Amino acid sequence: MKRFLVISDTHVPVYQSDIPAKIYEIAKDFDGIIGLGDFTNLETVLSLEAIAKAFYGVHGNMDDFDVKTHLPVKKVVVIEGLTIGMTHGWGPPFDIRKRIYESFRGVDDLDVIMYGHTHEPFDGMERGIRFLNPGTATPGGTYGVLTISGRDLKFEIFSL
């Protein structure tokens, strides 16, 4: 069994001066951190990489150039037998999952696609794939906890 802290849209230092303290406090309790973009600056990414046992991240549309050179726009990983696509997302919130789905065209056997961008948590099935969004890791926002055991997946949303 593996447990991951899932965050997106921290927007440091634009929306907040640092990632909420709670994220730093609980990170040690997880097997890794999944970061889904819009960190904004590279210092935020590096601080998350430093505290995470494992870090899987993608950049977002609002990230500085150095973040975009440090992290890919999308990533596919296999964890405990599940194939997980990760991207931030772009454009208006309507039809975002359709656009994201199309961006992964050609990737075989995706079980899950994780994304951010909308600042709204989401957990649902579309086109035979489970889409997960942790919301925004800002004060009053949310984060996700992803638990994978074999091919079983549980996704929970928590308020900050």
The predicted structure's pLDDT at residue 46 = 97
- Give the end-to-end CA distance of the chain in Å, rounded to a whole number: 25
- Residue 151 confidence (pLDDT) above 90: no
Superfamily of the domain at 2-159? Metallo-dependent phosphatases (3.60.21.10)
- Residue 83 confidence (pLDDT) above 90: yes
- Residue 113 confidence (pLDDT) above 90: yes
Which residues, 6 or more positions from 133, have their beta carbon under 8 angstroms from its beta carbon? 8, 36, 114, 115, 116, 117, 118, 120, 121, 122, 123, 144
Q: How confident is the model at residue 157 (pLDDT cuts 50, 70, 90)?
A: very high
Whether the model clears a pTM of 0.85, i.e. scores above it, the answer is yes
Q: Which ranges in the chain belong to alpha helices (H)?
A: 21-26, 42-51, 65-70, 96-103
The predicted structure's pLDDT at residue 91 = 94
